[in-house]
Amino acid sequence: MSLWLLIAMALDAVFGEPDEIWGRMPHPAVLMGRVVGWFDRSLNTGGPARGRGILACAVLVFGAYSLGEALAALPGPFAEILLAAILLAQRSLVDHVRAVAAGLRHSLAEGRRAVSMIVGRDTAAMDEAAVARAAIESAAENLSDGVTAPAFWFLIAGLPGLLIYKIVNTADSMIGYRTPRYEGFGWASARLDDVMNWIPARLTALLIWLVSGRPGPWREIAAEARLHRSPNAGWPEAAMARALGVALSGPRAYHGRMQEYPWVNPQGFREIGAAAVEAACAMLWKAWAAGLCVVIVLAWT
């Protein structure tokens, strides 16, 4: 399985998500989103919803497992390699984050527009530093969610494991919110996503820490990671902040309401811009390369 992952990682890094293909047909992640949306519309219809959310999550997991087993049973490794390459997101992640740096170099408005494509917070009133921080935080978190975690679960459980992770992660991104509508219905998906990302988030932080060139004490990363509202996202974010020497997180607005989140690496630079975003993109590739080396070792041992 590690050899197939090695090939898939290389394909993703070279080709990413070409518009020539995905402009003409729906991406598998889009199809997953449509399935989750159908369950949301069909089952999340008011009243106590945790039981229906658990049922929806269980059906999604079983469906992903069954599809993965069916595809893995096809002759040869082609289906496994191709789908793994499609569902890894290293190249597309770097492209989206780099677009924020390019936007900021053009104008603040362009930077805000680009970052609004990759974050869920309010962007209309962001200054240059806030735009850069949002892009870097998204880069760190999505390196874990979009690259390390899919690769990890593919190594652990093959195509079924990869598809289960992706459908759970998609469900969490759509219904895993602590809002009146999703507090109950999205509970199971959000908790399962936390479990499935627990190891990958820490592996991602470790990779960033190892390739940073300035690895401070690991205990400081761990301490700041635990301050994050997510049990997992704080790990790659704290590692990225220290690797770049910048302060991340801090106050931000969601749906018109300011949230006073603590700073990550508060002693780091706060007046940052496009150059820091480009540095984050470089760090994404360094961490990816370190992960690739791990997969190479696994493939030839």
- Residue closest to 247 by CA, chosen among 133, 87, 79, 84: 133
* Least confident piece of the model among 66-70, 210-214, 228-232, 257-261: 257-261
Averaged over 94-101, what is the pLDDT? 97
User: For residue 215, is pLDDT > 70?
Assistant: no
Instruction: Quote the crossing angle between the two packed helices 78-87 and 28-43, to the nearest 10°.
Output: 70
Written as six digits, the tokens of 50 are 């945790």
Q: 205 is written with which tokens? A: 């932080």
Structure tokens at 112: 């805000």
pLDDT of residue 109: 95
Bridge partners (DSSP) listed for residue 257: 254
pLDDT on residue 226: 87
Rama region for 219: left / alpha / beta (φ>0; ψ in -120 to 50; rest): alpha
Determine the Cα–Cα distance for residues 58 and 187; give it in Å rounded to an integer: 12
Confidence of residue 213 (pLDDT cuts 50, 70, 90): confident
Look at residue 252 in the predicted model and tell me its pLDDT.
75
pLDDT digits (tens, 9 = 90+) for 17-38: 988 888 889 999 999 999 999 9
User: How far is residue 194 from each of residues 89, 171, 189, 191, measured CA to CA in Å?
Assistant: 19, 12, 9, 5
- DSSP string computed for 224-291: HHTTSSSTTTHHHHHHHHHHHTB-EE-SEEETTEEE-PPEESTTSB-S--HHHHHHHHHHHHHHHHHH
- Confidence band, pLDDT 50/70/90 cuts, at residue 125: confident
pLDDT tens digits for range 229-288:
889 999 999 999 999 999 998 877 776 677 778 889 999 999 999 999 999 999 999 999
Please report the pLDDT score of residue 256 as a whole number: 67
Chain centroid offset of residue 288 CA: 13
Distance of alpha carbon 182 from alpha carbon 175, whole angstroms:
6
> What pLDDT is recorded for position 195?
98
Every domain of the chain and the residues it spans: 2-299
3-state secondary structure 42-69: HHCCCCCCHHHHHHHHHHHHHHHHHHHH
Give CA–CA dist 33/37, Å, rounded.
6
Q: What is the mean pLDDT of the chain?
A: 93
Percent of the chain with pLDDT over 70: 98
Positive or negative torsion for Cα 57, 61, 64, 70: negative
Residue 293: φ, ψ to 5°: -60, -40
Nearest to 97 by CA among 160, 188, 16: 16
Q: What is the pLDDT of residue 48?
A: 85
**Cβ atoms 159, 167 nearer than 8 A:** no
Torsion, Cα 199 201 202 207, to 10 degrees, reads 120
Region 134-141 average pLDDT: 96
Answer for the pair 83, 12: CB distance below 8 angstroms, yes or no: no
Specify the long-range contacts of residues 168-172, CB closer than 8 Å, at least 24 apart: 168/57, 168/60, 168/61, 168/192, 168/193, 168/196, 169/145, 169/193, 169/196, 169/197, 170/29, 170/32, 170/33, 170/36, 171/36, 171/56, 171/57, 171/60
